[in-house]
């Protein structure tokens, strides 16, 4: 069945794996989750792991039908892996990686292909008979894309008759971000019937990404903070934030004040919070510096009783086990001092 598709069609589907053509190729080819070739799994695994590390996986466009097939099939498998991780960070980073690839590919495409992809994304546009204007979109459609980019500030746009007038580069950017939003909203997909071996691979990907993040942050540290001595409640918050979980207000407060109390510099605490979804450096810097005492009051780290009140204390916490522990900072300092004495 696969041979009925031309190399041109396969190449198009490789670059734009979310399109109806790509879906048709998969639908009309013998494709089973129980019998996925290793070459497909490895490409899917690499693309997801790369995205989780905040890097770009951009496969080269080739003329080999088998390689193109692997890349086309790898996309839905990658979506399965991302869905199994079930974290906002995984959803966002994979979607953003795909969006960047789309933007890069469309820059080199003729107008008809750009418009074709725009229609695939459900973008309603009009052609304008004006110099330097490639196309226009309605004001509501334009404002529906909100990714915090300066590009989308209305004050920076040409607006006329309820329409936003865009150059080719701006229109391509708009389309790519529209695709990013749609892909992000599609997660998580249903993975209830996914074979166990794929679920195991997804867990392996999450573990590798987590270790990579820990190493990345460790390289940034100069403060001598030692996570191996954190009490369980703080260790969970620390691993959660590195894993990309969006912490609650009280969790953020507890973690930040603990880190500041054990000597982590303000800038490193801000860097730690950069792993969270929707990270805003300006807002985070303001909040952390306030906690550190810039406003005149330095906030203390939460005690064990406060952690319990915040519902952040864990069954394994030493304060529950009957040990003379009343404060997470106390546990950290005593554990570290004990290690130093044995060294």
Query: Per-residue pLDDT tens for 92-110?
Result: 889 989 999 999 999 999 9
Give tens-digit pLDDT for 180-214: 999 999 999 999 889 999 989 988 887 777 666 66
Question: What value does the mean pLDDT take over residues 309-322?
Answer: 85
What torsion, rounded to 10 degrees, do the Cα atoms 12, 16, 20, 25 define? 60
Q: Is the pLDDT of residue 222 over 60?
A: no
What torsion, rounded to 10 degrees, do the Cα atoms 184, 189, 194, 199 define? 40
Cβ–Cβ < 8 Å for 7, 68: yes
Query: Between these two residues, 146 and 180, which has the higher pLDDT value?
Result: 180
* Residue 147 confidence class, pLDDT cut points 50, 70, 90: low
- Tell how far CA 330 is from the center of its chain: 35
Q: Is the pLDDT of residue 120 over 50?
A: yes
At 152 the three-state DSSP class reads helix
Q: Residue 176 burial (CB < 10 Å; 0-12/13-18/19+)?
A: buried
Give percent helix, percent strand, percent coil of the chain, each to the nearest 5.
Answer: 60, 5, 35
pLDDT at 150: 55
Give tens-digit pLDDT for 14-29: 999 999 999 999 988 8
Q: Which residues contact 208 (CB under 8 A, 6 or more apart)?
A: 49
Angle between helices 88-106 and 168-186 (to 10 degrees): 150
Give the residue from 267, 243, 231, 250 showing the smallest Cα distance to 310: 250
Mean pLDDT of the chain: 86
């Amino acid at each position: 069945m696969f041979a009925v598709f031309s190399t041109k069609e396969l190449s198009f589907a490789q670059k734009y794996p979310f399109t109806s053509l790509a879906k048709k190729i998969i639908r009309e080819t013998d494709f089973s989750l129980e019998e996925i070739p290793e070459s497909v799994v490895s490409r899917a695994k690499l693309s997801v792991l790369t995205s989780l590390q905040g890097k770009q996986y951009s496969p080269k466009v080739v003329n080999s039908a088998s390689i193109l097939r692997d890349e086309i099939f790898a996309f839905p498998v990658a979506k399965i892996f991302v869905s199994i991780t079930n974290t906002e960070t995984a959803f966002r980073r994979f979607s953003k990686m795909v969006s960047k690839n789309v933007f890069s590919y469309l820059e080199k495409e003729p107008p008809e292909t750009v418009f074709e992809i725009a229609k695939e994304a459900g973008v309603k546009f009009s052609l304008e008979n004006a110099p330097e204007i490639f196309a226009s979109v309605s004001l509501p459609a334009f404002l529906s894309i909100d990714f915090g980019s300066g590009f989308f500030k209305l004050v920076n746009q040409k607006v006329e008759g309820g329409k936003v007038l865009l150059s080719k580069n701006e229109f391509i950017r708009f389309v790519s971000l529209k695709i990013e939003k749609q892909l992000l909203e599609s997660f998580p997909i249903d993975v209830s019937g996914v074979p166990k071996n794929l679920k195991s691979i997804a867990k392996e990907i999450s573990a590798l990404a987590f270790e990579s993040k820990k190493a990345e942050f460790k390289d940034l540290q100069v403060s001598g903070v030692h996570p191996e001595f954190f009490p369980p409640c703080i260790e969970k918050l620390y691993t959660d934030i590195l894993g990309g979980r969006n912490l609650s207000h009280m969790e953020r407060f507890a973690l930040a004040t603990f880190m500041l109390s054990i000597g982590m510099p303000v800038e490193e605490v801000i860097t730690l919070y950069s792993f969270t979804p929707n990270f805003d450096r300006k807002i985070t810097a303001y909040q952390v510096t306030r906690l550190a005492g810039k406003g005149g009051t330095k906030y203390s780290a939460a005690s064990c009783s406060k952690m319990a009140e915040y519902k952040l204390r864990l069954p394994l916490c030493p304060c529950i086990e009957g040990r003379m522990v009343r404060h997470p900072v106390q546990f950290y300092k005593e554990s570290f001092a004990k290690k130093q004495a044995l060294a």
